[in-house]
Amino acid sequence: MKARQQRIALIVGGLAVLGIAAALVLNAFQSNLVFFFSPTQVATGEAPKDRLFRVGGLVKEGSLSRDADGVTVRFVITDTVKDMTVAYKGILPDLFREGKGVVAQGKLGADGLFVASEVLAKHDENYMPPEATKAINDAGSREINEKAAHTLKQ
Protein backbone atom coordinates (compact mmCIF):
# COMPACT_ATOMS: atom_id res chain seq x y z
CA MET A 1 0.00 0.00 0.00
CA LYS A 2 2.85 2.35 0.87
CA ALA A 3 4.52 2.08 -2.52
CA ARG A 4 1.22 2.62 -4.30
CA GLN A 5 0.53 5.80 -2.33
CA GLN A 6 4.01 6.99 -3.21
CA ARG A 7 3.29 6.46 -6.90
CA ILE A 8 0.01 8.39 -6.59
CA ALA A 9 1.79 11.27 -4.86
CA LEU A 10 4.53 11.22 -7.52
CA ILE A 11 2.03 11.38 -10.38
CA VAL A 12 -0.13 14.08 -8.79
CA GLY A 13 2.95 16.08 -7.79
CA GLY A 14 4.51 15.68 -11.23
CA LEU A 15 1.35 16.83 -12.97
CA ALA A 16 1.06 19.83 -10.64
CA VAL A 17 4.66 20.90 -11.30
CA LEU A 18 4.16 20.41 -15.03
CA GLY A 19 0.94 22.41 -14.97
CA ILE A 20 2.59 25.30 -13.14
CA ALA A 21 5.56 25.21 -15.52
CA ALA A 22 3.23 25.26 -18.53
CA ALA A 23 1.25 28.15 -17.04
CA LEU A 24 4.44 30.16 -16.47
CA VAL A 25 5.76 29.48 -19.97
CA LEU A 26 2.45 30.38 -21.59
CA ASN A 27 2.26 33.51 -19.49
CA ALA A 28 5.73 34.51 -20.66
CA PHE A 29 4.77 33.93 -24.28
CA GLN A 30 1.45 35.69 -23.86
CA SER A 31 2.30 38.51 -26.25
CA ASN A 32 3.71 36.16 -28.89
CA LEU A 33 0.64 33.95 -28.82
CA VAL A 34 -1.63 36.85 -29.66
CA PHE A 35 -2.98 36.22 -33.12
CA PHE A 36 -3.91 39.85 -33.76
CA PHE A 37 -3.71 43.32 -32.25
CA SER A 38 -6.68 45.63 -31.84
CA PRO A 39 -6.57 49.16 -33.33
CA THR A 40 -6.29 50.53 -29.78
CA GLN A 41 -3.20 48.40 -29.14
CA VAL A 42 -1.72 49.65 -32.41
CA ALA A 43 -2.45 53.25 -31.43
CA THR A 44 -0.67 52.81 -28.10
CA GLY A 45 2.36 51.37 -29.88
CA GLU A 46 2.04 47.74 -28.71
CA ALA A 47 2.17 46.38 -32.25
CA PRO A 48 5.60 45.83 -33.86
CA LYS A 49 6.94 48.48 -36.20
CA ASP A 50 8.57 47.64 -39.57
CA ARG A 51 7.33 44.08 -39.33
CA LEU A 52 4.29 42.16 -40.50
CA PHE A 53 1.55 41.86 -37.91
CA ARG A 54 -2.19 41.30 -37.81
CA VAL A 55 -4.92 43.73 -36.90
CA GLY A 56 -8.30 42.44 -35.79
CA GLY A 57 -11.64 44.10 -35.19
CA LEU A 58 -14.91 44.87 -36.86
CA VAL A 59 -15.30 46.26 -40.38
CA LYS A 60 -16.83 49.69 -39.83
CA GLU A 61 -20.28 50.04 -41.36
CA GLY A 62 -20.22 51.89 -44.67
CA SER A 63 -16.44 52.09 -44.84
CA LEU A 64 -15.82 49.58 -47.64
CA SER A 65 -14.78 51.21 -50.90
CA ARG A 66 -13.00 50.12 -54.07
CA ASP A 67 -10.20 52.09 -55.71
CA ALA A 68 -10.25 53.21 -59.31
CA ASP A 69 -8.00 50.26 -60.33
CA GLY A 70 -10.86 47.90 -59.46
CA VAL A 71 -8.86 45.45 -57.34
CA THR A 72 -7.73 47.47 -54.33
CA VAL A 73 -10.29 47.64 -51.54
CA ARG A 74 -10.22 50.00 -48.60
CA PHE A 75 -12.06 49.58 -45.34
CA VAL A 76 -11.84 50.71 -41.74
CA ILE A 77 -11.18 48.27 -38.92
CA THR A 78 -12.61 49.45 -35.62
CA ASP A 79 -12.74 48.19 -32.05
CA THR A 80 -15.38 50.88 -31.34
CA VAL A 81 -12.66 53.03 -29.68
CA LYS A 82 -10.01 53.47 -32.37
CA ASP A 83 -10.18 53.14 -36.15
CA MET A 84 -7.62 52.02 -38.71
CA THR A 85 -7.81 52.29 -42.46
CA VAL A 86 -6.74 49.18 -44.36
CA ALA A 87 -5.88 48.86 -48.05
CA TYR A 88 -5.92 45.39 -49.58
CA LYS A 89 -5.37 44.14 -53.10
CA GLY A 90 -7.06 40.79 -53.58
CA ILE A 91 -10.15 38.69 -53.10
CA LEU A 92 -12.05 39.08 -49.84
CA PRO A 93 -13.31 35.90 -48.09
CA ASP A 94 -17.01 34.96 -48.21
CA LEU A 95 -17.69 35.94 -44.63
CA PHE A 96 -16.23 39.42 -45.05
CA ARG A 97 -19.07 41.80 -44.14
CA GLU A 98 -19.41 45.30 -42.84
CA GLY A 99 -20.07 45.14 -39.12
CA LYS A 100 -18.47 41.67 -38.82
CA GLY A 101 -15.13 40.49 -37.49
CA VAL A 102 -12.02 40.62 -39.65
CA VAL A 103 -8.30 39.97 -39.23
CA ALA A 104 -5.85 41.62 -41.66
CA GLN A 105 -2.13 40.85 -41.91
CA GLY A 106 0.20 43.50 -43.24
CA LYS A 107 2.41 46.45 -42.49
CA LEU A 108 1.64 49.85 -41.05
CA GLY A 109 2.88 52.66 -43.26
CA ALA A 110 4.23 55.99 -42.02
CA ASP A 111 1.03 57.69 -43.20
CA GLY A 112 -1.04 55.46 -40.87
CA LEU A 113 -2.42 53.36 -43.72
CA PHE A 114 -2.29 49.63 -43.02
CA VAL A 115 -1.38 47.80 -46.22
CA ALA A 116 -2.66 44.24 -45.89
CA SER A 117 -1.23 41.23 -47.70
CA GLU A 118 -3.90 38.86 -46.35
CA VAL A 119 -7.44 39.41 -45.09
CA LEU A 120 -9.22 36.74 -43.02
CA ALA A 121 -12.83 36.84 -41.88
CA LYS A 122 -13.39 36.11 -38.22
CA HIS A 123 -16.60 34.29 -37.48
CA ASP A 124 -18.33 34.60 -34.12
CA GLU A 125 -19.72 31.64 -32.19
CA ASN A 126 -23.36 32.39 -33.09
CA TYR A 127 -25.12 29.96 -35.40
CA MET A 128 -28.67 30.87 -36.33
CA PRO A 129 -31.12 30.78 -39.24
CA PRO A 130 -31.71 33.98 -41.27
CA GLU A 131 -35.12 34.60 -39.65
CA ALA A 132 -33.54 34.74 -36.20
CA THR A 133 -30.90 37.20 -37.41
CA LYS A 134 -33.61 39.39 -38.91
CA ALA A 135 -35.54 39.33 -35.63
CA ILE A 136 -32.44 40.45 -33.76
CA ASN A 137 -31.79 43.24 -36.25
CA ASP A 138 -35.39 44.40 -35.94
CA ALA A 139 -35.09 44.46 -32.17
CA GLY A 140 -32.84 47.48 -32.47
CA SER A 141 -29.22 48.44 -32.62
CA ARG A 142 -28.55 47.92 -28.89
CA GLU A 143 -28.23 44.18 -29.28
CA ILE A 144 -26.10 44.54 -32.37
CA ASN A 145 -23.67 46.69 -30.44
CA GLU A 146 -23.62 44.16 -27.62
CA LYS A 147 -22.95 41.36 -30.07
CA ALA A 148 -20.25 43.42 -31.74
CA ALA A 149 -18.60 44.09 -28.41
CA HIS A 150 -18.79 40.37 -27.66
CA THR A 151 -17.18 39.39 -30.95
CA LEU A 152 -14.33 41.75 -30.21
CA LYS A 153 -13.84 40.49 -26.69
CA GLN A 154 -13.19 36.91 -27.78
Q: Nearest to residue 61, comparing CAs of 144, 151, 152?
A: 144
**Site for other proteins contains 141 (CB under 8 A):** no
| Residue 84 near residue 39, CB atoms below 8 Å | yes
User: For other proteins, which residue of 52, 95, 139, 149 counts as binding (CB under 8 A)?
Assistant: 95
Closer to other proteins by Cβ: residue 38 or 78: 38
Separation between Cα atoms, residue 24 and residue 26, nearest integer Å: 5
Question: Per the annotation, does 123 bind a ligand?
Answer: yes
State in angstroms the smallest separation of the CB of 19 from other proteins: 6
**Site for other proteins contains 45 (CB under 8 A):** no
Separation between Cα atoms, residue 135 and residue 119, nearest integer Å: 30
Closer to other proteins by Cβ: residue 33 or 110: 33
Separation between Cα atoms, residue 98 and residue 58, nearest integer Å: 7
136 three-state secondary structure: helix
Question: Per the annotation, does 88 bind a ligand?
Answer: no
The amino acid sitting at 114 is F
Per the annotation, binding residues for heme are 123, 127
Chain residues in the site for other proteins (CB under 8 A): 4, 7-8, 11, 14-15, 18-19, 22, 26, 30, 33-38, 56, 91-97, 100, 103, 118-133, 154
